[in-house]
A and B are shown apart, each in its own frame.
Chain A
Amino acid sequence: MISENSPIILSVNDLTANVDGTQILKGMNLEIKAGEIHAIMGPNGSGKSTFSKILAGHPAYEVTGGEVSFLGQNLLELEPEDRARSGVFLAFQYPLEIPGVSNLDFLRVAYNSRQKHQGLEELDAFDFDELVQQKLDVVKMDAAFLHRSVNEGFSGGEKKRNEILQMALLEPKLGILDETDSGLDIDALKIVADGVNQLSNPDNATLMITHYQRLLNYVVPDYVHVMANGRIIRSGTKDLALELEERGYDWVLDEAAAGVA
């Protein structure tokens, strides 16, 4: 949902970054306002997953230049946990398994660390249980999953639903979905997409990173960006995604190369 007067949630200016001395991002620019849903598409190796991890603060990447402003504050100077507590959420492509830690306990620790950071009341096990029961519906998850170890033995679809459940609880200002559609069958994809749509509102924003257009049939983006070689080379509306689906990435890459030349 686009509204000209909405506050800016994320503003990325000329961001460059390295991993192991190799430049991965070569001048990213992106602005996301409240209420908007953006999708970044692009061929493998274009840097789109790297971009999502840098926003969340992954230590393996070194930012070498540019700025990232999140709700008016310098995001790059925050530790990953403080970014999360301030309202950045990254749904992982490969969520981690944590044997021995119940999903319920994990969710409560995560929830309370955000509450504490924002000066809000932390919930005890009883009250939290009530809250989480309501959120389970968002991703049609069975309560039995709460008492299993975090992601341990979960199917691919269950892991992704668990990511969206975490997002539902943490109510981020910016939800970043990194290849959330990968490895999902159509039923699981619909459940996940439905969850994302339920969580989207005029006060928050969603950034989807995806290789395929399929997810965008269910979570309809306001803007679609094509990323290649570490920067955004073209932006458009959802029609751009359909065109990419039909024609592949080569024509955009060619046009961009011609434009540079």
Chain B
Amino acid sequence: MSIVLENKEGVGLITLSGTLDASTAETFRQQTGTWFDSSPLLKQIVVDFAAVTFMDSAGLGTLIGLRKQVASRDGDLRLSRLRPNVKLVLEITRANKIFTLFETVEEALKPVE
């Protein structure tokens, strides 16, 4: 899996590709955690899922963990461009209710009103 971390005018953008699962979740957790801790001004994070082909419960667990980190700054974790199979996993688990989902990265990057 590859992880690209960017700061887009005050909004964190995480671009993933590959699978977010038991084999990659720890890497994701470490990299995003370190980055988030070292960027104290970040409150809004967007994860671009367009190139994520599969997510399992370990992957979901790391997303929930990241969401808690963001929430501790009263921030918002947004997921964009989910493939149907990944979106379905969120729906089955009801995790779609704890994240905000967007069809495009641009929409997701818009500041919270």
Do A and B pair up? The answer is no
